[in-house]
Structure 1
Amino acid sequence: MTIDEAQPELTSAVRSPQWYLSATRWTQLTLTEDDPSALDVDFWVDVMTRTRSNALCLSAGGYMAFYPTQIPYHYRSTHLGDRDVFGELVEAARGLDMHVMARVDPHAVHAEAAQAHPEWLDHGLDGAPVEHESMPGLWWTDPMSPSHWEFTTQIAQEIVREYDVDAVFANRWEGRRRVSYNPLTRAAFLSATGQELPVETDPSDPAWPAFTAWRRRQLSELVVHWDDAVREIRPHVRFIPNRGGALTRDLDSDLVEDRYPMFFVDKQGRSGLEASWTPGRVGKRARGLYPDRPVALITSVGPEDGELRWKDSVADPHETRGLVVDGFAHGALPWFTKFKGECFDTRWVQPMADAFRLHARVEQATGHLRHTAEVALLDCVDRASATPFGQGHGGGAHEDGVYQALIEARIPFEYIAEEALTAQRLRGVRVLVIPTGADLVPATVAAIEQYVADGGGLVAGYDAGLTGGSDGSPGRLALGDLLGVRLTGGVRGPLKNKYMSLEAGHPLTAGYDGAQRILAGAHVLDIEALPDADVAFRFVPDYPDLPMEEVYPRPGPTPPAVVTRQHAGGGRTVHIAFDIGEVYWRALQSDHGRLIADSVTWVLGQQPSRVSVNGQGLVDLAVREGEDEIAVTVVNLTDPMAMRGQRHDALPLHDQEVVLTIPDGAELGTADLVIAGGPARTEERDGRLHIPLETVDDLEVVHVTWTPTRTDAVQHGGQA
Structure 2
Amino acid sequence: MLHRPNTSTDTASRSHEWYKSATRWTQLTFAEDDPEKYDPEFWIDVFRRTKSNALCLSAGGYIAYYPSEIPLHYVSKFIGSTDPFGTIVEGARKLGMHVMARVDPHAIHADAAQAHPEWVAINKDGSPREHWAFPGIYVTDALGSYNRDFTTDVIREIVSKYDIDAVFANRWQGHGVSYSEDNQRRFKDETGFDLPLKPDASDPAWQAWAAWRRRILTELVVYWDETVKGIRPHASFIPNMSGSSLMEFDLSLIQKHCPILFVDHQARQGVEVGWSAGRNGKRIRATFRDRPVGLITSIGPEEEYRWKDSVQSGEEIKLWIHDGMAQGLFPWFTKFNACVPDDRWVQPVVEAFNLHADIEPHIDGMQPTAEIAIIDPSTTLRHWAPEERHIAEQNDLGFYHALVEARIPFEFVSDQVMTAETLDRFKLIILANAAYLSDEQCSAIEAYVQRGGSVVAAYETSLYDQVGKPRTDFGLANVFGAHLTSSTRGPVKNTYIALSGPHPINIGYDGAARIIGGTHLLAVNAEKAADTPFLYVPDFPDLPMEEVYPRQEPTGAAVVARDTGYGGRVVYIPFNLGEVYWKVLAPDHGRLIANAVNWAFGEDHRVRIDGKGIIDIAIYEKDDALVVFLVNLTNPMMMKGPLREAYPIGVQTLSVALPKGKRSAVAKMLVKGQECTCRIVGDRVEVEVPSVEAMETVHLTWHS
Q: TM-score range by the shorter chain?
A: over 0.9
Aligned to 2:449: 452
2:290 is matched by which residue type in structure 1?
A: D
**3-state secondary structure, aligned to 1:476:** coil
Q: How far apart are the structure 2 equivalents of 1:429 and 1:507?
A: 22
**3-state secondary structure, aligned to 1:226:** helix
- Deviation track 1:421-440 (CA, whole Å, cap 9, x = no partner) reads 11111233111111111131
1:345 aligns with 2:307: no
Offset of 1:260 from its aligned partner? 1.6
Q: How far apart are the structure 2 equivalents of 1:328 and 1:471?
A: 36
Q: How far apart are the structure 1 equivalents of 2:409 and 2:677?
A: 23
Aligned to 1:416: 413
Q: How far apart are the structure 1 equivalents of 2:25 and 2:383?
A: 37
Offset of 1:191 from its aligned partner? 4.2
TM-score by length of 1: 0.93
1:491 aligns with 2:492: no
Offset of 1:15 from its aligned partner? 0.9
1:319 is matched by which residue type in structure 2?
A: E
Offset of 1:206 from its aligned partner? 6.0
Q: Kindly indicate whether the alpha-carbon contact (under 8 Å) linking 1:382 and 1:394 is maintained by their aligned counterparts in 2.
A: no
Q: Kindly indicate whether the alpha-carbon contact (under 8 Å) linking 1:320 and 1:351 is maintained by their aligned counterparts in 2.
A: yes
Q: Tell me which of 262, 267, 279 is aligned to 2:260.
A: 262
Q: How far apart are the structure 2 equivalents of 1:193 and 1:406?
A: 42
2:576 is matched by which residue type in structure 1?
A: D
- Deviation track 1:424-457 (CA, whole Å, cap 9, x = no partner) reads 1123311111111113111221121121222211
**CA 1:473/1:235 → structure 2, altered by over 3 Å: closer, same or farther?**
closer
1:362 is matched by which residue type in structure 2?
A: I
**CA 1:200/1:597 → structure 2, altered by over 3 Å: closer, same or farther?**
closer
Q: Kindly indicate whether the alpha-carbon contact (under 8 Å) linking 1:473 and 1:490 is maintained by their aligned counterparts in 2.
A: no
Q: How far apart are the structure 1 equivalents of 2:573 and 2:499?
A: 13
Aligned to 1:585: 582
1:673 aligns with 2:669: yes
Aligned to 1:511: 508
Q: How far apart are the structure 2 equivalents of 1:567 and 1:184?
A: 54
1:619 aligns with 2:615: yes
Offset of 1:640 from its aligned partner? 0.6
Aligned to 2:160: 161
Offset of 1:528 from its aligned partner? 1.9
Q: How far apart are the structure 2 equivalents of 1:180 and 1:360?
A: 45
Offset of 1:203 from its aligned partner? 8.6
Q: How far apart are the structure 1 equivalents of 2:279 and 2:129?
A: 36
**CA 1:501/1:252 → structure 2, altered by over 3 Å: closer, same or farther?**
same
Q: Kindly indicate whether the alpha-carbon contact (under 8 Å) linking 1:480 and 1:486 is maintained by their aligned counterparts in 2.
A: yes
1:374 aligns with 2:371: yes
Aligned to 2:50: 51
1:348 is matched by which residue type in structure 2?
A: W
**CA 1:295/1:555 → structure 2, altered by over 3 Å: closer, same or farther?**
same
2:297 is matched by which residue type in structure 1?
A: T
**What percentage of aligned pairs have identical amino acids?**
47
Aligned ranges for residues 39-438 of structure 1 at < 5 Å? Answer: 39-176=38-175, 178-193=176-191, 195-200=193-198, 207-305=205-303, 307-383=304-380, 392=389, 395-438=392-435
Q: How far apart are the structure 2 equivalents of 1:354 and 1:201?
A: 43
Q: How far apart are the structure 1 equivalents of 2:447 and 2:469?
A: 32
Pick which of 22-31 and 307-316 moved more. 307-316
1:521 aligns with 2:501: no
**CA 1:161/1:473 → structure 2, altered by over 3 Å: closer, same or farther?**
closer
**CA 1:489/1:11 → structure 2, altered by over 3 Å: closer, same or farther?**
same
Offset of 1:186 from its aligned partner? 3.4
Q: Kindly indicate whether the alpha-carbon contact (under 8 Å) linking 1:247 and 1:263 is maintained by their aligned counterparts in 2.
A: no
**CA 1:298/1:84 → structure 2, altered by over 3 Å: closer, same or farther?**
same
Q: Tell me which of 434, 439, 449 is aligned to 2:436.
A: 439
**CA 1:389/1:286 → structure 2, altered by over 3 Å: closer, same or farther?**
closer
Q: How far apart are the structure 2 equivalents of 1:489 and 1:218?
A: 40
Q: How far apart are the structure 1 equivalents of 2:290 and 2:452?
A: 26
- The gaps in structure 1 that reach 5 residues or longer are 710-720
**3-state secondary structure, aligned to 1:303:** coil
Offset of 1:248 from its aligned partner? 3.2
**CA 1:552/1:445 → structure 2, altered by over 3 Å: closer, same or farther?**
same
**3-state secondary structure, aligned to 1:286:** helix
Q: Tell me which of 627, 630, 633 is aligned to 2:626.
A: 630
Offset of 1:92 from its aligned partner? 0.8
Aligned to 1:716: none
**3-state secondary structure, aligned to 1:336:** strand
**CA 1:494/1:190 → structure 2, altered by over 3 Å: closer, same or farther?**
closer
Q: Kindly indicate whether the alpha-carbon contact (under 8 Å) linking 1:382 and 1:393 is maintained by their aligned counterparts in 2.
A: no
Q: Kindly indicate whether the alpha-carbon contact (under 8 Å) linking 1:29 and 1:341 is maintained by their aligned counterparts in 2.
A: yes
- The gaps in structure 2 that reach 5 residues or longer are none
Pick which of 535-544 and 28-37 moved more. 535-544
Aligned to 1:24: 23
- Deviation track 1:115-172 (CA, whole Å, cap 9, x = no partner) reads 2222222222232322222222212221223221111111111111111100000111
Q: Tell me which of 652, 676, 680 is aligned to 1:684.
A: 680
**3-state secondary structure, aligned to 1:346:** coil
Q: How far apart are the structure 2 equivalents of 1:360 and 1:573?
A: 43
TM-score by length of 2: 0.95
Aligned to 1:702: 698
- Deviation track 1:611-656 (CA, whole Å, cap 9, x = no partner) reads 0111000000000111111111100000011112111121011111
Q: Kindly indicate whether the alpha-carbon contact (under 8 Å) linking 1:373 and 1:412 is maintained by their aligned counterparts in 2.
A: yes
- Deviation track 1:297-333 (CA, whole Å, cap 9, x = no partner) reads 111101111x212122101111111111111110122
Aligned to 1:575: 572
Q: How far apart are the structure 1 equivalents of 2:169 and 2:27?
A: 13
Offset of 1:231 from its aligned partner? 0.6
**CA 1:654/1:226 → structure 2, altered by over 3 Å: closer, same or farther?**
same
- Deviation track 1:209-245 (CA, whole Å, cap 9, x = no partner) reads 4333322221111111111111100111111121122
- Deviation track 1:519-557 (CA, whole Å, cap 9, x = no partner) reads 221122211221111111111222111111111121256
**3-state secondary structure, aligned to 2:257:** coil
1:449 is matched by which residue type in structure 2?
A: E
Pick which of 26-35 and 551-560 moved more. 551-560
**3-state secondary structure, aligned to 2:675:** coil
Aligned residues: 702
Offset of 1:341 from its aligned partner? 0.4
